[in-house]
Amino acid sequence: MKIAIVGAGYGGLSLCWHFLQHDGCEVTLIDANGIGAGASGASTGLLHPYPAKLAKRSLRAEEAMREAHALLEVAGAGVASHSGIVRLAMNNDQKKAYQASLPDAEFLDEEAVKSRFPKAISSGGLWIPQGKTVFSKPYLEGLWQACEKRGAKLHLQPLQDLKELDAFDAAVLANGHKILSFKECADLPLKTRHGQALVCRWPASEPPLACSLIGRGHLSLSEDPSLCLLGATYENTFDPKRVEALREQIGVFYPPARDFEILDVRRGVRIAPKEGYLPLVQSISKKVWVFTGLGSRGLLYHGLYGKELSLEIIKSLSH
Ligand SMILES: Cc1cc2nc3c(=O)[nH]c(=O)nc-3n(C[C@H](O)[C@H](O)[C@H](O)COP(=O)(O)OP(=O)(O)OC[C@H]3O[C@@H](n4cnc5c(N)ncnc54)[C@H](O)[C@@H]3O)c2cc1C
């Protein structure tokens, strides 16, 4: 079976790996710009089941975390920090929500937060022990290398017309927000949101953070302990003022962030379903599927939905 996957981000690489687990699948990955050139390369790497402000548990959280974790293992050592994540309560509504009994997270009162993060300001927090901070670039590179070892081919070229996919038995468009540029996909129920994050120097005078912290915005660990990431904006265009304001925004719950030295800016465009937050996975013709709409939960859902779509396509081709 000759399979084409357009897009080498979280979605495309997850699919690629899952197809390669089946005998007889020859996979060609097509990307205009290389591994992790889209939103996945800009991602600040938070992986946990409680992304909404009031910590409502994401649908299918347990299986999604399991599949994401399995892909991290495939990508090899050093691609993530497994030290958990803390969500700080920034108001009473959040505090109440975090105090509710959640299956795999624990409420921390103000004192417990202070003892772990002496410089943080909050009215308590939610400790998510299975939370991970994924170091996007090494992760994507590691996953690609594992796919390449299993025989996947990478074509560095833009796909301009879906007719170019005719030579394949099946194809998946996993090309993030650019999917909307194909006329066959222009009416899919999707919306885009730009996002930026700051790459900052972690001051030598500050003790290292034990894990990533979320307040209004977040402070993420980086693969390089002398750096950290401040994320992320949600906006209609890339506004330089909005990204600079992240230091002040994060300074509200972690005051030292106000003085962090900015080294770089990461930018990407998220694409999400118009309704809800589950990825958009469907066929648009007999041979072409789409896998997109990962929104802000790309890490949570790329493993599970990539695995399920690969199985669905293999089944359809075997009939
Ligand atoms: C600043 C920021 C921070 C984020 N932080 C997090 C986070 O902490 N946790 C989380 O889970 N999610 C986060 N996200 C969201 C996450 O990045 C996305 O959900 C995810 O990257 C989507 O992956 P994807 O594979 O669908 O698309 P993308 O990563 O955008 O990949 C699409 C690929 O397709 C290629 N491409 C596009 N068009 C074509 C074409 N015509 N021909 C060939 N190739 C093409 C591009 O070059 C690109 O490599 C963040 C996003 C941003 C912007």
The two tokens of residue 55 are 């910590």
Query: Which atom of ligand 1 is nearest the CA belonging to 35?
Result: 49
- The beta strands (E) that lie in 76-185 are given as 80-81, 85-88, 106-108, 125-128, 132-134, 153-155, 170-173
Give the distance (Å) from ligand 1 centre to CA of residue 269.
7
| Paired residues of 6 in beta bridges | 30, 173
For the domain made up of 2-49+136-190+275-318, give the CATH fold.
Answer: FAD/NAD(P)-binding domain (3.50.50)
> What is the C-alpha separation between 209 and 118, in angstroms, rounded?
10
3 state DSSP class of 9: coil
Please count the other Cβ atoms lying within 10 Å of the Cβ belonging to residue 82: 14
Q: Give the strand order in the sheet containing 217-221.
A: 106-108, 125-128, 85-88, 212-215, 217-221, 227-231, 190-201, 261-273
pLDDT per 10-residue tile (average), the chain, 319 residues? 98 98 97 98 98 93 98 98 97 94 92 96 96 98 98 98 98 98 98 98 93 97 97 97 97 97 98 98 97 98 98 94
Give the distance (Å) from ligand 1 centre to CA of residue 192.
11
pLDDT for the residue 101: 78
Query: Which atom of ligand 1 is nearest the CA belonging to 179?
Result: 38
Going from N- to C-terminal start, the domains of the chain cover 2-49+136-190+275-318, 82-133+192-273
Give the distance (Å) from ligand 1 centre to CA of residue 246.
21
Q: Domain 82-133+192-273 class?
A: alpha beta
Please count the other Cβ atoms lying within 10 Å of the Cβ belonging to residue 268: 24
pLDDT for the residue 316: 95
What's the Rg (C-alpha) of the chain? 20
Give the distance (Å) from ligand 1 centre to CA of residue 50.
20
Give the distance (Å) from ligand 1 centre to CA of residue 292.
9
* Residue 243 · residue 198 · CB < 8 Å: yes
Residue nearest to ligand 1 atom 37, measured at CA: 175
Residue from 200, 296, 297, 301 to probe ligand 1 pocket by mutation (most atoms less than 8 Å from CB)? 296
| Paired residues of 229 in beta bridges | 199, 220
pLDDT for the residue 102: 85
> What is the C-alpha separation between 220 and 263, in angstroms, rounded?
15
pLDDT for the residue 52: 87
Over the range 46-74, which residues count as b (16 or more CB within 10 Å of their CB) and which as e?
bbbbbbeeebeebeebeebbebbeebbeb
pLDDT for the residue 319: 79
Name every protein residue with a CB atom under 6 angstroms from any ligand 1 atom: 6-12, 30-33, 37-40, 42-46, 158-159, 174-176, 178, 195-197, 231-232, 266, 268, 270, 292, 294-300
> What is the C-alpha separation between 289 and 306, in angstroms, rounded?
12
* Helix pair 136-149, 61-75: axis angle to 10 deg: 70
Give the distance (Å) from ligand 1 centre to CA of residue 241.
23
Q: For the full predicted model, state whether its pTM sits above 0.75.
A: yes
